[in-house]
Amino acid sequence: RHMIRTAVAAWGARDRADEIELVADELITNALMHTEGSAIVTLRALTGSEVRLRVEVEDSSSALPRRREAGDSGVSGRGLLLVDLLTDVWGVEARGGGKAVWCEFVVPDPG
């Protein structure tokens, strides 16, 4: 979490740091809980018509993430709902025998 917060601050996205950290934590937790192995986490700043911070969590499972119904008293099952609510866009890409779940946050242009 510290590394994510440090990168977010360095890229001028402090206003969205809590959201980015929470979503990254959810994606990492999902990868570790629902797959048979480790996860590779990548953060990148993308430029174009707007500055976006992209979080990718890659794992070795080809199984796609799916939204579950948590229920009123459920302690799990809300991860993808949070990802959907807090990010500007997210998706899944096939990577070799596995996949990468990614999301992007539009951040203020530091320039």
- Domains annotated on the chain, with CATH: 2-107 (3.30.565.10)
Q: Percent of the chain scored above 70 by pLDDT?
A: 86
- At CA 44, angle to CA 82 and CA 16, rounded to 5? 45
pTM, two decimals, is 0.85
Minimal CA–CA distance to 20: which of 39, 34, 7? 7
11-29 confidence digits (pLDDT tens): 888 889 999 999 999 999 9
Q: Is 57 helix (H, G, I), strand (E, B) or coil?
A: strand
Separation CA 32–CA 20 (nearest Å): 18
Strands 40-46 and 98-107: unpaired
Q: At what angle do helices 17-34 and 2-10 cross, to 10 degrees?
A: 140
User: Count of residues for the chain?
Assistant: 111
